[in-house]
Amino acid sequence: MLKGLPERKALRAIHEAGGQMQMADLAKALPEGEDRIAIGWLKRKGLTEIKSSILSLTDQGSAVLKGEMPDEELLRELAAGRIPESDADPKVIKDLKGRQGMISEIIETERIISLTDGGRKALASGIELKEEITQMTDIIIQSGAWKNAEFRKYDINTFAPAVYPAKKHPLSRLGDEIRRMFTDMGFTEIDEEYVQPAFWDMDVLFVPQDHPARELQDTFYLDKPSRIPVDDEELIGKIRDIHEHGGDTGSAGWGGEWSRDMAEQAMLRTHTTVNTIAYVAAHPDAPAKAFSLSRIFRKESIDSTHLPEFTQIEGIIIDENGNFDMLVSVIKEFYSRMGFDTIRIRPAYFPYTEPSLELEVFFNGKWMELGGAGIFRPEVVAPFGVKHPVLAWGFGFERLAMLKWGITDIRDLYISDIDDLKNSRVF
Amino acid sequence: MPLINFDYNDLSSLLGEEVPKETLVERIPMIGADMHDTEGNSDEMSVEFFPNRPDMYCVEGIARSMRAFLGTEPGMKEYDVEETDIRVITDPSVATVRPYILCAAVFDMNIDDHFIKSLMELQEKLHMTIGRKRSKLAIGVHDLDRVTPPFEYRAVRPGDLRFVPLASDEEMDLSEILIRHEKGRAYAHLLEGKSRYPVITDADGNVLSFPPVINGTLTTVTTETKNIFVDVTGIDEKAVKSALDIVVTAMAERGGSIGSVIMEGKGFEHRSPDLSPSSWSISASECSDFLGREISPEETAEALRRMGMDAMAEGDTVFAEVPSTRPDIMHKVDLYEDVAIGYGFERFGGTHSMTQTTGSLMAETMVSESMRDVMTGLGFTEAVTLTLSSEKDEFGISGIEEKELVMIRNPITEDHTCLRASLFPSLMRILRRNKHRDLPQKIFETGDVISDCRKRRHLCGVVMDSKSSFTESKSYMEAVLRETGMKYELAHCTDRTFIPGRGAAVTVEGRRIGSFGEVSPEVIEGFEITHPVMMLEIDLQWFADSREGGVI
C-alpha cells in the first residue's frame, strides 16, 4: 500500500484542492480508471457527496483524513503475516474479498484429540516415552542413533504415487520375441532396401507386367529416383524368357512382350519377398533358412485397419527334405508359439508360389486371416539354379499384434499415446 | 479379388442336391476362396475367389466345381457341342485394332432373373480380371434371334456407322458414343490413336457390338430370349478363348445347348468354341515328395477328379485331362497344387524335420537392441513411427540441412510424400500428439532413415519439459557415445533446428554422425508444441557396419 487505496488517494487530492473537486479533475489525478473505483468506494463509505459532477468531502471524510480506515488497518496487519479470521471484522473481510487482488483466504482445520477412558487407564499403568524415527537419514545411520530409537510403523495401505518405468515399445517387444523364435529355429535374419526397381519386387517373382498390383493405385512409384537400372544382363534375359514363354522351366509363361523399361521403374517395395528372393539368389543351396521382419509400402488410405506402411514377417526354407507338409508344419508351430492354437490353412493364390495357402487363426469366434505362404514357383527359382523346393511365407505383423493386445485401431501402434505406452504391460 | 454374390437356393438347385448351408460355408473356402460372413438366416452368400480361378466367377461355375469337390460328380464335366452353320467372318482390317475374336451360340435357354444377374456379373468380373478392364478382352452376349448370320467382324471409320447403343434410345455414330455415352467415355482410352474402330454386324448390317465399348440395344438379352450368341474380342488370344469357354459352359450349366460357329478369315477357318481339354501327365511319387505326404497314384488321380479333371493312374504316372476353363494350369506344379486341394489342405502339417542350421541376427538389430537398453536405462520410453514423411516436416519445419530425398510419384496424402532422412521429425510428431500429457516426456526411437536410396539405422531421443537444458542433452549424448566406445569430437552446429549457439555436431574421424542440443522455439512452434524440447540424434549405421566398441 505504497500510495494507499484509490479512495485514500482521492481523499488526499480533494483535500488538497480545498475540499471540493470536479469529477473530471479527479480523473486526471487518478488515471487509468482508478478514479471510478475511488468514487465508488468514497460513496459507499460515505466520505464524499456528489452534486452536479462536483465531489465534496463529508464530515466523515474530513475525519478519516487524519486517521486510518478499518480496511486499511486490516491490510496493514496482514502485510506483516497471516491472521486468523476470528481476529478481524467479518464486514471488513467481506469488503476486501470483494476487491480484486487484495487478500486471499487460507482454510485451516484444527482437530482436537483427547484421551478416552481406555487411554487414561493405559497411561495410568505407565508409558515409557521414547523417540520414534520417521524419516531415515544418513545421520541416523552414521551416528548410531537408530540403535536406541524406535521406527514408526507405517500403514502399508497408505496411497503412494504411481511411477512408470521407461519401456520398449510393445511392437518392438513383439518383434524381439519373433526374432528370438526364428533364431532359435536356426534362421538367419536378412533385409534389403525399401527402394527397389520393379524388377526385384515383381518381375523376378513372376508377377505379370499387366498385374493389377503393379498399377499406380496400389503401389508407390518414385519420382526421385524414377529409374533403377538393373545391370545383370544374363538375369534380365532369363526373366524376359520366363515371362514371355516360360524359358526352359517347362512353363507356358504369361505370353506377350516383356518390358525392361517397366522392370526398371523405381518403387517402394510392396512385400519383403524382395528380401527372401535376393537371399535365394545368393544362397541357392540347401540348407538355407532366412527370415526378415521389416517394413513394406502399399498405396492404402489410412483408416483403423490400414496404413500405407506396415511390417511383414517373411521367411524361406531351402531344405533337401523340404515339401508342402513341412511348410504347413512350420507355420503351425510359429503360430502356436505365438499363442494361437486353432489354426486353419486354405488354398490361395499368389503369382510366385504354387501351391499357395492362406493362414487363418480362430479368434473371438471368427476366422482371422494372418498371412500367406507357399512354395516358390519353378519360374521364380529356376534362374538361380535352386534344386530344392523353396518354402516361403509372409505374415502380417501389426494384425498379429492387434489380436494379441486387443487393439482395434492400427494407427495407435505408430502414433503412440504416451499414457498408453506407460500402461502397456511387459507381460 | 472378385466378390461373387449369389443365392443359396440358386446354388442348391444348380448343385442338383440339397447341401446344408453350413457344409458349403465350411467347404467352399477349402477349394480356394474367402468366404464372407452371411447375415444370420439370409440366403445371400458372398465369396471372393482368387485371380487364378476365373471359372468360378459365377454361381454356375461354383456349382460345377463343388459337385466335383464334394464328391457327388467327380471328374471333368463334358458338354455336348452341336455344329451350326453360323459363320463369323473376320476382316483383316481389325488386325491393328483388336485382332482376335471367338464366338459361340447357345440354344434353348430358359432365362430367369437369377441367370441374367449372374451372367452380367460374370462378364463384369472377367472384364475386370483376366480382361484387365476390357483392354485384353471384352465379352458381348446377344439375343441370336434378333439378328441374321453370317456375322462380320471388321474395323470401320468412326463416322461411317450409326446404331442405338445399350442404355440409350438414340442412334449415334462411333465417335459420338465415345463422347456422349457413359460406357463410351469409360473405355474411349482403349481406342485412343486408332483411325478405325471394331464392330460386329449381321447380314443386314445391324450392329451387334462395338467392342470393347458397348453392345447394340437390338440384341439385348431378356427373360424372353431363347437362343444366345456370344462374342469375345481382344488382343490376347489365350485370354479370349478362356473367357469364351467360361461363359458358354456357365450357360450350359443353366440348361442351354452349346452350338459351335465357324470362324472364318484370311488364311483360317475353324470351329468355336473348342472345349477340348489339355492333356497332362505327372509322376505320383514326385508329386507326393513335393507335397510331403504319402499319396498313392490312385489317390492322386482321385484328388484331381475332385478338382473337376479327368484323371487315371497307370503305374506311377497319372494322366490328367484339364478342362479348357482352367487357364491357370501352366506347369506341373499347378497340378500338384490341385492334388493338394483335392486331397484336402486340412490333412497337411504333421511334423517337420528341418535340417539343423544356426540362427543369427543382423548387425543393425543387435546395435538397436543394445541402444534400446541404453535409452530405456536413461529413462526414455520407446516410440515406433513410420518411415513415410513429408518434405515439409523433414526440412522446412525441422530446420535440418536439406539433402536429396526419395520422393513418391503418386502419394496419397501430403503428409506422406517421401521417405524420411532423419528420425527427429517423426518424434516431434509424437510429442505433438502428446502435448497435453504430463511432463516431462522422454521418448526415443531406433529406426531406419534413407540416405542415397539406402537405409541407415539411426537413434533419436527427445525430451519435452517445462524447461530445456543444453547440458542435459549433452549428458545423454555423451552417455550414448560412451557406450559405443567411439572417439568423437564436438563442434558448433548451425542447423536451424537448434537455438543459435546451443546445438552441437558430433564427428568421428571427421565425419558427422550426429547432433544434439536445445531445439529452437521456431521449430517447436512449427510442430505446434508449446513446451521446450531438447534432442539428440545419431547415425548408428557406422557402428552396425563396423560392429566395434563397448556394449555394441
DSSP of B420-453, one letter per residue? -S-SHHHHHHHHHHTTTSPSPEEEEEEEEEEETT
Residues of B whose CB is below 8 A from A185:
354, 359
Count CB neighbours of A125 within 10 A: 7
ipTM over 0.85: yes
For residues A113 and B534, which has the higher predicted lDDT (pLDDT)? B534
Q: Which residue has the cell 496424402?
A: B413
CA-nearest of A399, A393, A308 to A350 is A393
**Domains of chain A (ranges plus CATH)?**
6-97 (1.10.10.10), 176-423 (3.30.930.10)
Residue B45 parent element (H or E): strand B44-49
Residues of A whose CB is below 8 A from B34:
358, 369
Gap between the Cα atoms of A307 and B247, Å rounded: 38
B362 and chain A: CB distance < 8 Å anywhere?
yes
- Cross-chain CB nearest to A308 (options B293, B388, B438): B388
Residues with Cβ within 8 Å of residue B233, at least 6 apart in sequence: B98, B100, B101, B137, B138, B140, B153, B198, B200, B209, B211, B212, B240
Q: What is the largest CA-CA distance in chain B?
A: 95
Handedness of CA A397, A401, A404, A409 (dihedral sign): negative
CB B12 within 8 A of CB B20: no
Tell me the CA end-to-end span of chain A in Å, nearest whole number.
Answer: 63
Distance from CA of B7 to the nearest CA of A (A): 23
Per-residue CA distances from A85 to A73, A93, A106, A111 (Å) = 14, 8, 9, 17
Gap between the Cα atoms of A87 and A385, Å rounded: 101
Query: Looking at chain B from residue 276 to 335, which residues have their Cβ under 8 Å from any Cβ of chain A?
Result: 289-293, 330-334
CA-nearest of B253, B248, B256 to B225 is B256
Average confidence score pLDDT of chain A = 89
CA-nearest of B419, B362, B402 to A195 is B419
Gap between the Cα atoms of B470 and B498, Å rounded: 10
The cell numbers describing B57, all together, are 466367377
Asked if A167 lies within 8 A of B381 by C-beta distance, the reply is yes
Gap between the Cα atoms of A307 and A223, Å rounded: 21
For residues B204 and A89, which has the higher predicted lDDT (pLDDT)? B204
Gap between the Cα atoms of A269 and A290, Å rounded: 18
CA-nearest of A333, A208, A192 to A273 is A192
At A422, the amino acid letter reads: K
Beta bridge mates, B259: B82, B105
At A354, the amino acid letter reads: E
At B334, the amino acid letter reads: D
CB B241 within 8 A of CB B220: no
Asked if B455 lies within 8 A of A348 by C-beta distance, the reply is no
Gap between the Cα atoms of B451 and B541, Å rounded: 11
At B40 the pLDDT is: 66
Share of chain A above pLDDT 70, in %: 99
Per-residue CA distances from B420 to B390, B398, B494 (Å) = 7, 12, 21
Gap between the Cα atoms of B159 and B379, Å rounded: 77
At B551 the pLDDT is: 42
Per-residue CA distances from B389 to A173, B161, B393, B462 (Å) = 24, 54, 7, 18
Residues of A whose CB is below 8 A from B348:
324-325, 328, 345
Asked if B360 lies within 8 A of A195 by C-beta distance, the reply is no
**Domains of chain B (ranges plus CATH)?**
3-69 (3.30.56.10), 81-272 (3.50.40.10), 278-347 (3.30.56.10), 363-548 (3.30.930.10)
Q: Which region among A8-17, A83-92, A171-180 has the lowest average model confidence (pLDDT)?
A: A83-92
Handedness of CA B385, B387, B392, B398 (dihedral sign): positive
Gap between the Cα atoms of B312 and B332, Å rounded: 16
How many residues in total does chain B contain?
A: 552
At A261 the pLDDT is: 95
Count CB neighbours of B363 within 10 A: 18
At B552 the pLDDT is: 41
Beta strands per DSSP E along B340-488: 381-382, 388-389, 407-408, 418-419, 441-451, 454-464
Gap between the Cα atoms of A355 and B290, Å rounded: 10
At B549 the pLDDT is: 40
Q: Residue B50: CA atoms inside 13 Å, Cβ hemisphere, count?
A: 20
At A1 the pLDDT is: 42
pLDDT in tens, A209-243: 988 888 888 999 999 999 999 999 999 999 999 99
Gap between the Cα atoms of A282 and A214, Å rounded: 26
Question: Residue B497 burial by CB count (10 A; 0-12/13-18/19+): exposed, middle or buried?
Answer: buried
Task: Render B307-330 in DSSP notation, one character per residue.
Answer: TT-EEEEETTEEEEEE-TT-TT--
CB B72 within 8 A of CB B15: yes
At B395 the pLDDT is: 86
CB B311 within 8 A of CB B305: yes
With 80 as the cut, is the pLDDT of residue A105 above it? no
- Cross-chain CB nearest to B359 (options A182, A224, A228): A182
Query: Looking at chain A from residue 140 to 159, which residues have their Cβ under 8 Å from any Cβ of chain B?
Result: none
B43 and chain A: CB distance < 8 Å anywhere?
no
- Cross-chain CB nearest to B437 (options A166, A307, A419): A419
A188 and chain B: CB distance < 8 Å anywhere?
yes
CB B146 within 8 A of CB B219: yes
CB A14 within 8 A of CB A20: yes
Q: Which residue has the cell 530445456?
A: B468
Along chain B (552 residues), what's the average pLDDT of each consecutive run of 10 residues?
A: 89 91 92 80 88 93 96 95 97 95 96 90 93 94 96 95 93 94 94 95 96 95 95 94 97 95 95 96 96 96 97 97 94 95 94 88 94 96 95 87 91 94 95 92 96 95 94 96 91 93 94 95 94 96 71 42
Under 8 Å CB pairs connecting chains A and B tally to: 253
Per-residue CA distances from A7 to A64, A66, B491 (Å) = 11, 14, 63
Helices marked H in A251-290 = 260-263, 273-282
With 90 as the cut, is the pLDDT of residue A98 above it? no
Residue A395 parent element (H or E): strand A390-396
pTM over 0.90: no
